[in-house]
Every structure is written in C-alpha cells, then in structure tokens.
Structure 1
Amino acid sequence: MSGTAAYKSLETEKADDLDDAPITEHDLEAVYEEPPPKLAAARTAVCAAAVVVSAIACLFVVALIFHHGMNIDGGAEKVGAGLFLVSGTDVLLLLRNSKHNDKTWGLPGGNSDKGERILDTAKREATEEMGSMPSCNVLGQILTRRGKQQQKHYTVVVCQMDAAARMAFKPRLNSEHREARWWPLAGLPSPEELHPVVALLLQDPGLKAQLVAALPAGLQLASNATAAGAVPAQALGPSSEAGDEIIDKRGASMLLGDSGKVLLMRKLKHGPGKWGMPGGSQDSKDADALAAAERELRSEIGEPPQHDVRGQVVVKRRGKHGIKLHTVYLAATAAGASTGFRATKLDDHYEAQWVDLKEAIQLPASQLHPLLAEVLSSENRAALSAAFGVQL
C-alpha cells in the first residue's frame, strides 16, 4: 500500500471514531521541518553551558582530591624525615635560622626528594645540615601528621649514638641553623621554643607513647612544659622570670668523670671541708651556663683534660630574693684522665681527688656541699649512669 493511500484511508475515518482530528500530509511533513533560528541557537547555548559546567565540576573534584592529599603518599601533600639523635639521657637539637619556625629547637631533617626512602631522607638532610651523618643505631620510626588536613607527613627516625660516637661527632652547621646542643630528655625547652614537629611528638599522647617505646629503657621524657628547674640558662638573664618564679642568681659547675670515677674537690669556703665540684656564679660575660661552667673549671683546676658533656642536672634552690638556679654539667673525659690528670690550681680548695662514683653516692650529706649532694641524690642516678657509663 502506498503512502498516499494510507493518508486517504485516515481521512475517511469518522470524526467521532478518533480522539483527535485526522492526520494530514501537512502534519507529517511538519515533523521534519527545521526549528526556528532562535530556538536552535538557544538549544546550542544550553548544550555548551552544560559541557562547561560539567568540565568545571570535574576540575573541582580533581582539585578537591589533591587538596585532601589523596595520592600515592597515603594522604600527604608534603613528606619529610628527621633524626631524633639520642645519646645517654640527651637528644641533639638544632636552633633554626630560617624564616620558617626561626629560633626554635628542632631535628636535623627536611623534605624528601621524589622517590626517596624515608631513612635516606633523614641521612641526607643530616649530612647537609651538620656536615656528616653520625654513626648511630636506628631504634624506630614515628610518623607525625600536621596541617589543617593532616597533609604534612614527617617521620621521626629515632637513632641511638653510643658514648664514643657522641664524643667523636662535631656538627658543622650550615646556614639553616644557629647552634647544635645536647638537651636532657627530662629537661627540654618549652613547647613555644620547640619546632612544631618536636612539640607535637612530646604533646600528643599517642606519639609520645611511641617515642618512649622506641627509646632505651629507663629514659624519662619532659612533660608538655619544660621540666621543673630545667630552664635553659641562656633563655633568662639575672633577675628574670621562669614561669611565676623570679630567677635571682645563676651558677654552673662541671662534674668530670672517667672510668667510673669523678673529680671532686674539698672546698675552702662556702661549705669548708666539704666535697664539691669546680663551679661558680654565671656572669654577664658568659654566653650561657655551659660557658660559665667551662670558665669556672679552668679557673679552679687549670687546663682540664679533654671532655665531652653528656648530660646535665639543674638544681633549684629558693633564696631570700628568688630562685637560685645552678646547672651541673656531666662530662666524660678522655680515657685515662683519672690516672694521668692532676689539678694545677687549687685556689678555692684544699685538694682535688678522683673518687669512685659508687663510693661518692654513699658519702653522708654532712660531707658534701649541698649542690653535690643534690646531684648525687637518687633522683639523678639515671642521669649519672647514662653520662658516665656506670650502673648505679
């Protein structure tokens, strides 16, 4: 049947047999007519807008993914590593000289290169910042996360140096740092003075637990604030404040040790006849407490044997006008000093003797200067053991 016949057949139908008017050839041809120009332009614009919106939406999703760090580094936009070098009861911290976290104490470390392993990052950064990578034994790795989206990942590599390695290692700092110093773990700077990574490591309970687990048994960490009495000497001047307390006077001493013996001196004044250590008051010319201790050491015994500071004990005593803060540095001498070295100056003392440390801690308090009695007390046995390699 032809198309024309079909249309004529439809036209012969009665109007009441159909719901609508008969379909004509004109009606069918109208279906294939081109839409008006304005309608076509509107449709084109709508389609183009839909494509643009879809593209923008895709870009937004991609940007959002990258913003949240969803990449091969497990959510990290920035990856880095640093060395937590521990020796005895101390950790090595560097004072930063940078526009980022300037004048804070942090770890030798930095950002990882593409494809670089974490341990290799820590070793490379240590070499760049301190001149060489010290000999140490890796005890563990702790991942820290910082940033608004926890996108900054920094792995702290805990590494232990023995006494010989510590004595041999002399950091040669690059321009990124001002100073390298061994800080006692029980007397670290306040959180405000620490690099954010170190502060987080000590303040976050989970991270701190990991650090304690990685450290050699028996070591104590500072609380979230500086341990009582362990205020860095250079941070405060005479008659300055430490928390709510006034520091009226500062002093420093040096306790030298070799082969289980320590150098003690019987004093002429300020506790005459009692055993004490080389030391005295810190003055304005001393750069810090350690400089004061070294000056007093030379003043009281002459040129000292070669030595390396491995710890410190800070003694706080309350005086009439405030707190008297005295830092006692624990220094191991070159082997043989206890048999070969003799003091050449004794202006303030009757005598100087090398005394077995185990015997010294048994001496009655009546025979000891109050400062030495405090240092040899049971509270400081762990620090003495770690510094001098003697089990007490």
Structure 2
Amino acid sequence: METNNIALTGKPQSIIPLNDKDRLAALFRYEILDTPPEAFFDKITRLASKLLRAPSAFVSLVDKERVWYKSNFSTLEVSCVDRNDSLCSLTIINNVDVTVFEDTHLIPGLTDSPYVSAPEGIRFYAGAPLITRDNFNIGTVCVIDTEPRRILDEEKDILKDLATLVVEQIELRALARKATRRHDELYTNLAHNIAEPIKEQHVLLSEAVKSPERTNIIRKAHATVHALQENLETMLGATLQDEEIVAHPQQVAISKIARSIAAEYEPVAKAKNQELFFTVASRRELFVDPDLIREAISNLVSTSIKFTPKGSAVGLDIYESDGLYKIEVSTEASELTTQDLRKIFLKYAILSGKPTGNEEASGLELPRAKKIIELHQGKIWAEHLGKENGKKFVIAFNVD
C-alpha cells in the first residue's frame, strides 16, 4: 500500500494519501456511506467506549471531502465532519496499528480543528484503521476524551480487534448485497420469462373455452396452466420470506425520532444541493419500538433523497388528520415513475427510476420499512403529489 508516513509530532501539510483515488474506490464498493444506523456498529462503539473508559466512540469512514460516522456514540449531533477537521484523516495515513494523541494541544497543527480547539474539545484521541482485504485504510474505530490521558497496550489491542470485527462485518455485508442482487436477477428472469407468459396463456384459454368443439381439451389445458401458475406463485412467494422482526415497544414521541433523522440526513441532502424541510404539527406519543420506527423513517428519507434531483427539496412532516397520525416524506420532484410506486414496497422490485447522485439502491430498504410499519399495525404507501413529478411516502397509525 502506497501511503504517506507521518510522525505524530505535527499535522502534515497534506492529509490526502498518495493512493486516495484507489482507496476511495475500495470504500465505495462497500456501498455503506449514508446508510441508516445498524445495531452491530452501534454495539462496537458502545464496547469501545466502555472498554477504554472513554466518553465518546465512533466508527468512521473517510470519504472524499468528509468523515462520515456509521456509528456515533457521543454528544456530537452531526453525521459527518469536514475531512480536514477530523483526526481520523490522520489515522488513515499513519503507518501504525493505532494512532494516539495523548494530548492534542501538544501536537502542532491539531488545534486548527474546531473540534480540538473548542471548549471541552478533543484532548485525547486513539484510532485503529479499518484495513480492507486489499490493504486500504477506509476509516477507523476511534475513541476520544475531553481530558488528556495515556493509553495502555491492552487498550490498543482492543481497538485493533474492534476494527477487525468492523471490517469483517463490512465485508460480509458486501457479500450479502451481492448475493441479494444475484437473487434479484434470478427472480426477475423467472417472473418475466415464466410467470407473465403463463398469465397470458391463462387469458387466452379463458377466451377459447367458449368454443364448444374444444371445450374438454381446453378445460384440461386451462386446469394444467392454472395449477402451474399456483405452484409458481407459491415458489415465488417462498423466496420473499424475510427474517423475523421482534419489536420492543415503549411510549415515545415519534416527532423526536423524526427530528434527529432530519438532522442526520441534512448533510446528505446538502451534498446534493437539496433542501431538507422538517415540520411537526403533532407531538403525540405512540407505543412503538423506537429503533425500528427510526429505521423505517430513515429508509424513506434516504430513498427520497436518492431519487430526488439535485437542487430540489425533500420534506419530512409529522401531523394528524382524520383520526390518523401521519409521517410523510415528500419530494417536489422524483425520478420514480408511476409503475415504480406500484411495486416499490416489493422486496425484489426492479425500478425504472435511477438515483440522481449515482447512489446505490438495494431495493430492500422500503420492503423492510413496510414490514416494520405493518408489525406496528400501521399502514404505509406511496403516491403522487399531484404536481409535476412530486411523490410522497406516507406512514399512518390510527389514534382514535
């Protein structure tokens, strides 16, 4: 791996490694940037914080101009920071197992970062790089503290082990997505090349059965096709089975969850020159699983941003009408077509509309959201806004 080798006596003039183009390509192939929170990565940061006795821990990914947090166990209410301001940018160019700043104020150049120089800013930092199978540093598992401190060798080993676990999970995640896409292709071919012709034959035989001289033969053929169609639908339905979702409901204000989602995705929208508007007209509390509801709403917001043209707007609104508590994610313009809206909640749907920023869309996010909402006895649907190409997703819960 070709990289800059820095000493920890000061911040280098350039924080961009010589192999950054290839490094970014390695990062992008995992399709993990701007994805919703996942329990595994949140467990990693909680463990890092607990085992190293540090108040804050992160799983970070170093993008082209930002450092984005896959997991953020801290009071920092942002999803990413500028690459130039992040100490993780130094970790990925430093040829050591764990990059440590025991007191950042003693390292020339580090106080240029507002996250270091601010009151109660970063005084201690320790980060282990996320090293891919082909030896690229794509991010870190790191901990920070507002007080300077020393670090033990055993604590460095913990960070290295946690970083290894994160990389293994990211690799497995990528393999699963690849397998899912292959399954999608097989499913689509099966549905297109077998299911549709059978339906056509079913219609033709239904018409032909009116011919008296062929009645017995055609009825027999009709029964055969009908049986084949039923068997095929059963087989296709079996491929759509998903893992069981277990809810742990509690009384929560969904508006608070939605507000944090809006804050999380605002930088994502801003990167596409989009505006993300958030309004609340009801702060009613509902008996739901907050983590699952957060995942469902995040999936709707993420999908809307992906399919909304640059320079357009996305809205996240909470309100009540006609005895329903509604969460609405709307776009004033969308690449999603009318046909896309009809099948967007199907697990293996192939959409005509394409993401507007070359983002990846697995086709699994909205089926997952649908399953979560229906588990909570709610409803979810997609519809036109009635103007231009505007679309919206709506979640509704009965509150009567």
The TM-score, its normalising length taken from structure 2, stands at 0.21
Higher strand share: 1
- Which TM-score applies when normalising by structure 1? 0.22
| Higher radius of gyration, 1 or 2 | 1
Which structure has more relative contact order (CA 8 Å, sep 6+)? It is 1
